[in-house]
Amino acid sequence: MKTDLHTVSNTDNPSWAAIVGNPNCGKTALFNRLTGLHHKVGNYPGITVEKKSGRIRNSRIVLRDLPGTYSLSSKSVDEKIVSDMVQSWREPKNRPRAVIVVVDATNLIRNTYLALQILDWNIPTIIVLNMIDEARKKHISIDADELKKRTKAWAVIPASAKYGEGIKEIIETLEQIPDNVRLPKMEPRLVEIEHCTENIAPLEQFLEPKKDVLNHHPRIEALRLLSDDGYINYLTKYFTAAELEQLLSKVTEVKTALKKNHIPYRSLEQSSRFAYIDLYLGDVFKKDPISRRSMSEKADAILTHPVFGPIALLLVLGFIFNAIFSWAQFPMDLIQSGIDWTSAQAGAILPDGILKSLLTEGIIGGAGTILIFFPQIIILIFFLSLLEDSGYMARMAFMMDKLMSKIGLNGRSVLPLLSGFACAIPAVMSARTIENRRDRFVTIMLIPLMSCSARLPVYTILIAAFVPAGYIFGFMPMQAAVLMGIYFLGMFTAIFAALIFKKFYPSKSVQTMLMELPPYRMPLARSLWWQIYDKGKSFLTTAGSIILAISIVLWFLASYPRQAGDQQHTSRERIEYSYAGQLGHFIEPVVQPLGFDWKIGVGLITSFAAREVMVSTLSTLYNLENDSGQSQSLIQAMRKDRYPDGRKVFTPLSVLSLMVFFVFAAQCMATFAVIKKETNSWRWPLLMTGYMTILAYVSCLLVYQGGQLLGFI
């Protein structure tokens, strides 16, 4: 699925096309339509963080989806991916057969900016006017033929990735582009701004002789050298050292001249491109003169209102947490009885012995337990996808933007942090949209504090076993409230942690957030389904196989070595004698002050592979310990379990302590690995593990010991 630029552009397959566009214009949705691949479609910037390729159905053309970007500058990691690829087009061998610029037809003026920048590379460019369904609803009419004539685009195609409109036409147009077309070199699509032309002339003239090597118009090069200090790096290989020095001094010279004329040279390209759009294209984009307040605006009057907005947000979250319990109850019971039945059947058929023990206690008892949580995970994924695709997630980010700047972060951090509720791994990757390096790294450090879906089974089993199902104040479901509280604990701690980072590692620059709220959109059922399918499948296969493997290893560790005269001992004595028992007892002194016994200690170790393994670990240990020969429900076993001196193992206080531990502890090897990769250093993942482990240990110590001092049990 992922193909490197060079393998695609190689001579064995010269037919590839790039898809570029602003964030949220529907690139990924279009890509999926064209290729039939089911990529995640999200309603906020920065979903596509990796280059993705896919072949158009029944065609030899390969498409590459790129991250969304407003322009070809290279400030954030995301923009740099696009900008680097575009820069490689100077070499003819790297040029795509065509570029598809996806444009949001409801937001033409801003979207056209990038289209003009791309057009100036003189590669056949197809402008796709996406979301044409919405544009029609808003009475925006666009004369596609006229737009094609004026911009000299290869084609302009109105389309709707949502309803499949225009898809066939895009494919046909792509197919009809002859191999190796050479477009005539065009004048850049810019308007000359008064006084500028003569000021920039020295730079432009200096670049003129290199025109053919650079494969890009000297005026655009000049403007970009003025706006972006890093741009020179793209040109170094085309100049000798002496020439480079001359070039740099020309840049300085021109900057000085422009400054003298009070021309803001950094935004020069922007102003001359927007002037072009205004002058040459303005009448092509006709808008209905009677502008009406859209549905989105009406909804936002309440949903992002300073007072009602946060209340609505809390209600939405409350509803979701409650749904996780109440909707999941029935399927969970069903799966539980299915597992019990399977276990009983296997127990009845198989003779007593190792195989029976492995199957019923190790595999069905351990790995099977995690299946029970599948409905809850699905419900969580469903709601997260719904929030994202509908556009509400972007509002959540918007409402929290102010708070973010108070704690030394910026609004762009919100989305990666919110994605952390699903899983830290894509969340850490999506932090790439944060331009400022410091803010990006601090955000990455905070993401693991957001309770990910893998922690859900641990929370819910503890809550189901030890929090009564009643209501607080007669209307608030108690279990959902505790669950929400646990999630908030992580969030509030992240705020504190951000403040501490701010103190010791202050932010140097203030990045204003230019996030534009996408309109509310009815999520595509198909897209929701694919997200649930993809994530559900990866939970069952990836997590499932880890859990299965660990369950088997654990069963072995908990069953061996056997003592002489094994049969005379009770199951409990046998398991305490086993490797797992020895390991658990070895670390017990460390975890005992937190209110955990040795079994929980073993669970804490095994859950490093994946947090939800905690549940299956306890399940395996309790099943092996149980003499009744029947698998018992984990909840009952936990409620009954006692220390040798008769005290209960799970008390309200130790349960609270355990939940707090799961909120704070950095028990996830995959997160460690992805942070190492994204920050390209060991320092950050080690810092994350270090601070979170200390935080977890100290908080649990405070909860448990403090609680006991106060007289709780």
Binding site for Mg ion (CB under 5 A): 27-28, 47-48
Which H or E element spans position 574? helix 571-577
Of 147, 161, 221, 210, which is closest to residue 188 (Cα–Cα)? 221
In the bound state with ligand GDP, the residue whose beta carbon lies nearer, of 26 and 595, is 26
Q: How far is the CB of 114 from ligand GDP (least distance, A)?
A: 12
131 binds, among ligand GDP, Mg ion, none (CB under 5 to 8 A by kind): ligand GDP
Tokens of 650: 């799970």
Q: Are 420 and 448 in contact (CB under 8 A)?
A: yes
Rounded Cα gap, residues 482 and 469, in angstroms:
11
The half-sphere exposure of 497 on its side-chain side, counting CA atoms within 13 A, is 24
The residue from 14, 59, 133, 253 that contacts ligand GDP (CB under 6 A) is 133
Region of residue 692 (left: phi > 0; alpha: psi -120 to 50; beta: else): alpha
In the bound state with Mg ion, the residue whose beta carbon lies nearer, of 389 and 625, is 389
For residue 23, state whether it binds ligand GDP (rule: CB under 6 A): yes
Q: How far is the CB of 693 from ligand GDP (least distance, A)?
A: 37
Cβ neighbours of 560 (radius 10 Å)? 13
The residue from 18, 41, 431, 456 that contacts ligand GDP (CB under 6 A) is 41
Kindly write out the interface string for residues 517-546 of this chain, putting x where it contacts ligand GDP by CB under 6 A and - elsewhere.
Answer: ----x--x--x-------------------
Of 710, 270, 202, 198, which is closest to residue 514 (Cα–Cα)? 270
For residue 679, state whether it binds ligand GDP (rule: CB under 6 A): no
Burial 14-29 (b: 16+ CB within 10 A, else e): bbbbbbbbbbbbbbbb
Binding-site size for ligand GDP (CB under 6 A) equals 25
Binders in 353-392 for ligand GDP, by CB under 6 A: 389
In the bound state with ligand GDP, the residue whose beta carbon lies nearer, of 22 and 376, is 22
Kindly write out the interface string for residues 45-64 of this chain, putting x where it contacts ligand GDP by CB under 6 A and - elsewhere.
Answer: --xx----------------
Tokens of 301: 């009057």
Kindly write out the interface string for residues 141-180 of this chain, putting x where it contacts ligand GDP by CB under 6 A and - elsewhere.
Answer: -------------------xxx------------------
551 binds, among ligand GDP, Mg ion, none (CB under 5 to 8 A by kind): none
161 binds, among Mg ion, ligand GDP, none (CB under 5 to 8 A by kind): ligand GDP
Q: Is 49 exposed, middle or buried (0-12, 13-18, 19+ CB in 10 A)?
A: middle
Cβ neighbours of 73 (radius 10 Å)? 19
For residue 29, state whether it binds ligand GDP (rule: CB under 6 A): yes
Which H or E element spans position 415? helix 414-419
218 binds, among ligand GDP, Mg ion, none (CB under 5 to 8 A by kind): none
For residue 101, state whether it binds ligand GDP (rule: CB under 6 A): no
What DSSP character marks residue 524? P
Q: Are 141 and 301 in contact (CB under 8 A)?
A: no
99 binds, among ligand GDP, Mg ion, none (CB under 5 to 8 A by kind): none
Q: How far is the CB of 99 from ligand GDP (least distance, A)?
A: 15
Q: Return residues touching ligand GDP (CB under 6 A).
A: 21, 23-29, 41-43, 47-48, 68, 130-131, 133-134, 160-162, 389, 521, 524, 527
